[in-house]
Structure 1
Amino acid sequence: MGHELYLTDAPTSDDLAIVSSGLTAFNEGEVGASDRKLLAVLIRDESGTVIGGLSGYTSWGWLFTQLLFIPETLRGKGMAAKLLTEAENEARTRGCKGAWIDTFNPLALKAYKSHGYQVFGEIPNFVETRTRTFLQKAL
């Protein structure tokens, strides 16, 4: 029985679900259930419209922040610290022992470090001359 590789830039949601569920089953067989749960801390304007925020998930006792966006009008006002604090507090409630995040933005890197995150890895020249930095924090 042969197998065929198929390269695509438009996988279906079903295709991705097969890969995800297969990896999830394998990992859970190796190290136990991930207890993966989505987590978001949203910034809403006066009308209730989402204008930014943080999204990620908790899994295997860790908080992973995937996305963090602050509108330009709110930057430099401690909003990143507020978002991270809310997410970290929820992660602690969920039993998490640590958090990790990555960035190639120098301003975000400074904000994360000032919030207690420590560098554990880097990819120099990830985008042009910018370094992609991976950070973690004990919760």
Structure 2
Amino acid sequence: MELIENNTIAMQELIKEKIIDYGNNSLPPTIDTLPESTFGCYLLDEEDILLGGITAHCFWNIMHIDFFWVDEQLRGRGQGKRLLDAMETIAKREKCKVIHLETFSFEAPKFYEKNGFKTFGKITDVPVETCDYFFFKKVLD
């Protein structure tokens, strides 16, 4: 058996497929084992310039927010909440039980707390002199 360092997208996808197959065969039958779905919501101006966006993926009744960005000039004006609410609507539609995400102390932990997310983990001094926060929010029907 040989150990190889290989960072190809094809190999990443194969490993992901293997662990998801393992999980699908290990979960109770009540868990939705549909293939992973990806979602995105975006704010565009009249010239189709991106002003904000949020992306996520769902599997096993869980939504994970991958990336979330709002142009600095729009922050604090309700547009981030608008995007987050849109993603929560998608989570409900997709029958997700929970939404989870990761953010840093220099990003938006207070924003997520204000929007009903709870901290379930924190790593201090990562990167240097900041914190890495992990949040979740249960999705209510």
| Common topology (TM > 0.5) | yes
* Structure 1 range deviating more: 74-83 or 25-34: 25-34
Change (3 A) 1:14 1:35: closer
* Match of residue 50 from structure 1: 50
1:12 to 2:8 alignment: yes
* Match of residue 131 from structure 2: 131
| Post-superposition offset of 1:34 | 4.9
1:84 to 2:80 alignment: no
Alignment of 1:1-139 (within 5 A): 3-8=1-6, 11-31=7-27, 33-139=33-139
| Post-superposition offset of 1:64 | 0.9
> Secondary structure at 1:29's aligned position in 2?
helix
| Post-superposition offset of 1:107 | 4.7
| Alpha-carbon separation, structure 1, partners of 2:71 and 2:52 | 6
| Alpha-carbon separation, structure 2, partners of 1:132 and 1:115 | 18
Change (3 A) 1:68 1:7: same
| Alpha-carbon separation, structure 2, partners of 1:97 and 1:19 | 25
> In angstroms, what is the RMSD of aligned CA positions?
1.6
Q: Percent identity?
A: 22
Please report the TM-score for the alignment, with normalisation by the length of structure 1: 0.88
* Structure 1 range deviating more: 121-130 or 45-54: 45-54
Paired residues in the alignment total 135
| Alpha-carbon separation, structure 2, partners of 1:61 and 1:93 | 11
C-alpha deviations, 1:27-52, integer Å up to 9, x for none? 11111625421011111121123343
What amino acid is the match of 2:23? N
Could you tell me which runs of 5 or more consecutive residues in structure 1 were left unpaired when the two chains were aligned.
none
Could you tell me which runs of 5 or more consecutive residues in structure 2 were left unpaired when the two chains were aligned.
none
* Structure 1 range deviating more: 72-81 or 129-138: 72-81
What amino acid is the match of 2:93? T
What amino acid is the match of 2:3? L
Please report the TM-score for the alignment, with normalisation by the length of structure 2: 0.87
| Post-superposition offset of 1:132 | 0.6
